[in-house]
Structure formats: C-alpha cells, structure tokens
Structure 1
Amino acid sequence: MDLNNPLSSSESSTDSSSDSSSGSSELDAAISKAAILAVNAMFDAVRGDDDDEDDDDDDEVVRPRFKRRVTIVRRRQEDEARLMRNYFVDEPIYNAKMFRRRYRMSKRLFLQICDDLAAEYPFFQQRYDGSGKLGFSTKLKCTSALRQLAYGTSVDTFDENFGIQKEPHGSNNDINVFEASPFLEELISGLAPTTSFYANDNFYKSGYYLGDGIYPEYAIFVKTFTDPIDNKRKLFKKKQELARKDIERAFGVLKKRWKVISNPSRYWDKDKMQSVIYTCIILHNMILQDEDKAFCQDYDPEDPSLDPEYWTQETPMEQRIKNTHAIKSGETHNMLMADLVDQVWTTRSRQDEAVPDLNEYVSDDDA
C-alpha cells in the first residue's frame, strides 16, 4: 500500500474483496467436488463387492438352481397285504367288533360301499400309475377316506400304515351363521321346504324352528322363556328345551361317530365343508339301514325340491320383499308363541309319553 497515492488504499481493498470472493467460490466448488467423489467412491465400493462375488462365483462350479424331488419308495404290496391280514382274510387279526369300531360300520356295508364307489368313480379303482406300477386298491383308498372322517385327522396320519399321503396342491355365533347362511336365502326366495299347521285352532302357513334366547323375534323362531311367570310358561319352557335337547343329541350322535365334525374344519372351501357334512350324514343313514334301525317319516318321492332344477329358479323381487316381511314379523312371532303356550297347556295330560332313547342309535365308536 502506497501512502502517497490516495487511490492505493481503495485499489487494495477492492483486490482483497475480489480475492476473498474468488476464494469462497473455489472452496464451495472443492466441497461439491469432494462430495461427488465420496458418493462415486461408495458406488464403486458396492460394485466392487458385487464384482468380487461374481469372481468368486466364477471360480466355483456352476450348479443347477433347482431342488431335486425326493422319491419315497413305498411298498404298496406290503401295505395291501397288511390291510388284508388285519381285516379282510377268512381269519383276520381283528374281529368283527374291532372292524365295526374302527370303520364305524359292518364289513358287509363297507364292501358294498367299495364296490359302488369303484363302479362310479375312477379314483377309487385300482389302476396302474405312470411308471407302470399297480396303484392302491379300492379297499385301501376307502379305508383311508373313512379313517379321516372317523378320527378327524389328515391323510398324512396314515402314511406309515397305508402308504398314502396328501398330494401337494370373525366370530360366528348362532345368529351370525344364520344371517349369512344360504338357508335364509332359501326362505326369502320361498324355496325352502315348509309345512302348514294349526296351533290353538289358529292356522299358520309356515313351520317354525326351535331356538334359544339369542335369536330375534322372527315368525320362524320359537324361543324359550328366560324367566317364566306362571305354570303355563314353565311347562312350555320345559317342553321346548326337551325338544331342543333331542335335536342336539341327534347331532351329537354324528359328532361322536365322525370326529371330523367335532374338530375345526381342515378346509377353507365351503363346497368341501358341505361335502364332508353330507358324506357323514349319508354314511350314518346307511349304517342305520344296515343295522335295521332306519326309519323315514313323511317322505315324498314326488317332492319338487328333489329336482336340482328346482333350486335354480328365480323369485321376483316383490315376492322376496313380501317373504322377508313375513319371516321377520314380530307380531306373528308373538301370536305363535301365545298359541303354542296355550296348546301345550291344554294338551298337557297327553304329553307324558316316553321320550325316545337316542342311545339306541349311538354306537360304540369311541376309538
């Protein structure tokens, strides 16, 4: 700085400011460049690791990326021979009582079912598989199916004895189940079977169903009394609960014989659930018929509901609305309850008949 030159101070100050501004820009540029280099270095490091892994893979022997199927050698002939020795030879290891206990039916009925299934469904026929080996027999397949129903277990449970395994492939209380069931839809559509009757000399077009206190006051429900106030209602409460108990015991017979019903469902598909229930009911009826315990009341072979086409017809919307109002009529419910209470009371002298013993229809199936 020149003291004799007045402009020297100003020029020096300007130069200093310019140098400071230039230095600041260079610093910012350096920081930005360093940040970019750091990011690139990280990316290079990641790519380097991948390249190293690829190099390591190249050094190793390339192997196929699939799992080989494990073949289980099942001695089907031995399984068949064991089953025959146990139950189906002239002098089997297990007698007729043990057969009845484990198969839930007589040997005669079981063999009849085997013949019928083999004649109707190819699955139950004994055939050769793709490798030319003779497959499972009809008796063994039917045995496996019945054991699943009787004991409520999966097919894998019997793999060791029969050599058959499975092929690879909200809260619901009574009223919730009823509201979501197809049965309510059948009532609204007017397709559900029904019958007319008289109660206390009053005519009712449709039948009713016994229920407990959780059900709503619909015309189709007859409930019991929580706190009966007089002898008439006490008697009705007793008779209604006795009738409900008999119905529940009837289902208890099925659950005792077929444990698959007692356990939580193993299926998510509703059609499969329905098929399991129907199978158990049909087998139960066949067993009763085989043991001369079956009875059928008011069966009409000409009933139109037996035709599958009957359930495909559509009901007009006006009729559906009318049926819905009739089903949910609280007035009809109260009238029906009053008439049934009076009917039970006036006929009480004739209601001392013995209640049928359902134990006659229960077998020793606790195995």
Structure 2
Amino acid sequence: MDSLLKRWWDEEEESDDDDLFVVGAILTGLKRKQSEKKFRGSLPGRHNVQRGIQGGHQRLYLDYFAPQPVYNNKHFRRRFRMSKSLFLRIAAALEAHDEYFRQRPNAVGALGGSPIQKAAAALKMLAYGVPADFLDEYVRLGESTIIECLQHFVRGVFDVFGEEYLRAPNVQDTQRLMAMNTARGFPGMLGSVDCMHWRWDKCPTAWKGMYTGHKEGPTMILEAVASHDLWIWHAFFGMPGSLNDINVLRRSALFDRLTSGTAPQLEYTVNGNKYTMGYYLADGIYPTWATFVKAFRNPQGNKKVHFTAAQEAARKDVERAFGVLQLWFAMIRGPARMWSKEDIWYIMQACVLLHNMIIEDEREDEDDFNYNQKGTVTKVLDPKDYEHRDPQLLEEFLKMHQEIEDKSTHEQLRNDLVEHLWAIHSSR
C-alpha cells in the first residue's frame, strides 16, 4: 500500500495541486499511524491485574468503619488527618455532588469503587504525598483511577465546601477576630499575612525562567492571611515564583472587599485615637500602608523593642499555619508532580479548605470574649448598616485606595500600638 501510494505520487507530480495535497495527507497519516504506540486494551496478551476492588472496600470498612473496627478513631485521625465523622461527611457530600463517587457497575456488571474507597485514596495521596500506584496494594484501585479520584476529589471539595470554608470574614468572624486580637494587645488586627512557595517539579521547560525566583527550582506562590487559631481567611495561589511578596499583593484580591465597601466596617480606638480600617501584621518587605503594621527594623528604646518582639511573635501565626498545612498534607510539602496548573491550583485550594474544616471540627468551645477591654473600644458594622460604596465610581475607588496606602496613618497607628502595648506591659 505504501509503495503504491509513493508510485502514484511520482506519477502525479505534474497533476492538479488538490490531488497532490490528498496524496500527501494520506502518506503523512500512514507514517503517523506506524509511529503510534499500539494499545492492546483487553486483547489477549495484555496483562490485566485482578485487583479485587470489592475486597479493597471490604478491607477498608473492616479496618475503620465497622461497628468494631481494627483501628480506633485515634488511628484514623492520625492516618487520614481528620476525624472519622468529618471524613464521612465529606464522602457523603461528594457522593451527592459528583456522580463519579457513586458506586456503579461497569460494562460486565461488576461494581466499581465505593465512595469511601475513592475518597480515602485521594485523601491518602494528599496526606502522604505518595505516588498513585503506591496505594494500589491497599485500596485496590489502579494508578489512573486513583489519579482520577484525586482530581474529582479536590474539585468536588472546592465546589461543595468552598463558599463556606474559603470565605472572607463576615460580621461574626470579624467580631471574633477583633476580640481575640484585642486580648493579645492588637486591637483592630485581622490576622497576619505572608507568602509560601510550592515547588513545581513538572514545570515545562519554556516556563522555568518565569517560575524560578530566589527559591531553588520553579515554584508557585501562595499568599495567605491566618489568625491565631490557624484559620486561613485568605488564600491567593498560582503566581510565578519569580515574583516577590509585593508583586503578589498587587495582583491579589486581599483589599477588594474593602475598596468596594462590602467588608464589615470597623471602629476602634488605640491610645485615644480612632481608626476605621483593620490591619494585618506583615514583615519588612510589605509597603508602609495603613492596612499593615510592621516591626521596627532597628528598634531603639524599651517601648519599641517590646513592640517589635510582640509584633514578630504575633506575626508568626501565618508561619504556623503554613507549617501545620504542610504537616497535614505532605503533597504540598514536597514538589508538585502534576503537569496541569489547573490541577495544582485545585489541590492547593482543597488543602487550605480541608485545613479550615479540620480546625473547625477540632476547635474547643471558647469563653465569650470581652469586646470592650480596657483602653479600647471596638465596634463592627454590617455592610448593610452603612452606605454602600459604588465600586463603579472612580472617585470613590481612588479615595479608598489612598486611605489604604496612607503612610502617615501607618506611622500613627504603629506609634499608638507601641504606647498601647507598653501600657499593658507596665500594668502587669
């Protein structure tokens, strides 16, 4: 066939161009077909692994979910990073949301993996950062199936729980943050902000220059805001590792609600001065804005030395959150081995979301906070209780940005906090 076409090509060299194009396309298709890898499917000669999927489900059920399981709740919490009740809640929600997690028969009538089997495989990959085929021996699912489980798991978790557990602070959350941080000596504080790099092992060669910065190898950046209880209130992920924290800040949505007037409005006093915007504790690279409080680079005097120590200690909240996040989910502690940026983005978002779910599930009941402690008056207003800013008006937008980036307010707030913390320290 191939020689016949070549001879036809030689004979028709001087024929119509359309005929030459057709013959050339046929020859190209034949060469491509010969070079393609032949997948045998279920033909004789292909090695088909008889995994016993139902046996994997039965083993998982007897180990953890039976009335008298082999391993108790403590073992489950250690190996799956969350309580059994939370895991079952997630598995049930995914089964209702995504048809992929429902147990269905295949073409020959054999049942596939169960919801807890697929969820357990995905969660173990996140928790241990192991390759997919490493889990085959226990969950009895193939490598490609486990990767599909992971992809459906992270997308399903984000779709079902993202609105609740990746939300920005509402009025109740803001009141709780205000009370929590006022007790620590930082009235008006909403959390601490910083960035974390995640190495991308499978970064395409053409992109390595853009994603390589001061860290070794190509990385992707996560900007986060965390509170003292390690809850992550803001997660902005996906920027190339060649950017620094200021470049990431300029692209993130950290202050979008504040500029549009949809964030809860604060009113609090520090050292006798009134402020109407919350702030974040940040390190030295961040700009001197009214919404950031930074430590002194070279503090002089007891008051500034004390303030710098207190600020650096409280700013470690976000560093602790990063550490716990990587401890619970080893996949984001090691290099990312996925090819798709979209898959990597969903994995990071799902890990942050699951982190917050675990924090909420294990949070102990706390006593009521005193919202008006000595020396401070804190008030939180719902957006519906004050005039809503029109984000389409350029004047309002620019005015709010000027207030956010006001250097004089930053200096005044920091000096007031210096006096406030020193007064607390002196009264003890």
- Structure whose CA Rg is larger: 1
| Structure-1 residue corresponding to 2:203 | none
Q: 1:165 aligns with which of 146, 153, 161?
A: 146
| Structure-1 residue corresponding to 2:121 | 144
What's the secondary structure of 1:182's corresponding residue?
Answer: coil
Conserved? CA contact 1:156–1:166, under 8 Å = no
Deviation at 1:201, TM superposition (A): 0.8
Q: Calculate the TM-score normalised by the size of structure 2.
A: 0.57
Conserved? CA contact 2:264–2:382, under 8 Å = no
Conserved? CA contact 1:118–1:125, under 8 Å = yes
The separation in 1 between residues aligned to 2:346 and 2:290, in whole angstroms, is 32
| Structure-2 residue corresponding to 1:232 | 303
What's the secondary structure of 2:266's corresponding residue?
Answer: coil
Q: 1:155 to 1:190 in 2, by over 3 A?
A: farther
Specify the code of the residue in structure 1 equivalent to 2:118: K
**What does the per-residue CA deviation read over 1:76-127, in whole Å, with 9 as the maximum and x for residues that have no partner?**
1222233233323344443433222101233343334333432343332212
Deviation at 1:286, TM superposition (A): 4.4
| Structure-2 residue corresponding to 1:68 | 39
Q: 1:145 to 1:286 in 2, by over 3 A?
A: farther
Taking the TM superposition and a 5 Å limit, the aligned residue runs for 1:6-21 are none
The separation in 1 between residues aligned to 2:366 and 2:105, in whole angstroms, is 39
What's the secondary structure of 1:195's corresponding residue?
Answer: strand
Conserved? CA contact 1:210–1:240, under 8 Å = yes
Specify the code of the residue in structure 1 equivalent to 2:277: S
The separation in 2 between residues aligned to 1:119 and 1:167, in whole angstroms, is 17
The separation in 2 between residues aligned to 1:229 and 1:325, in whole angstroms, is 30
Q: 2:75 aligns with which of 98, 108, 116?
A: 98
Deviates more, 1:174-183 or 1:63-72: 63-72
| Structure-1 residue corresponding to 2:341 | 268
* Larger proportion of helix: 1
Taking the TM superposition and a 5 Å limit, the aligned residue runs for 1:3-82 are 65=34, 67-71=38-42, 72-73=48-49, 74-82=51-59
Deviation at 1:271, TM superposition (A): 5.4
| Structure-1 residue corresponding to 2:414 | 337
Q: 1:77 to 1:210 in 2, by over 3 A?
A: same
**What does the per-residue CA deviation read over 1:281-327, in whole Å, with 9 as the maximum and x for residues that have no partner?**
343134315xx4678979xxx9669xxxx9xx844222111111111
Specify the code of the residue in structure 2 equivalent to 1:333: H
The separation in 2 between residues aligned to 1:261 and 1:295, in whole angstroms, is 34
- Unmatched tracts of structure 2, length 5 or more: 1-9, 11-30, 43-47, 152-209, 211-241, 372-380
The separation in 2 between residues aligned to 1:149 and 1:81, in whole angstroms, is 22
Deviation at 1:278, TM superposition (A): 4.1
The separation in 1 between residues aligned to 2:56 and 2:345, in whole angstroms, is 32
The separation in 1 between residues aligned to 2:32 and 2:244, in whole angstroms, is 55
* Larger proportion of strand: 2
The separation in 2 between residues aligned to 1:133 and 1:303, in whole angstroms, is 55
**What does the per-residue CA deviation read over 1:228-266, in whole Å, with 9 as the maximum and x for residues that have no partner?**
111110111111111112443244333322223434454
Deviation at 1:154, TM superposition (A): 5.1
Give aligned pairs, total.
285
Identity of matched residues, %: 38
The separation in 2 between residues aligned to 1:127 and 1:205, in whole angstroms, is 56
Taking the TM superposition and a 5 Å limit, the aligned residue runs for 1:146-295 are 146-153=123-130, 155-162=132-139, 163=141, 164-167=145-148, 170=210, 171-193=242-264, 195-265=266-336, 266=338, 268-269=341-342, 272-273=346-347, 275-289=349-363, 292=364
Q: 1:236 to 1:264 in 2, by over 3 A?
A: same
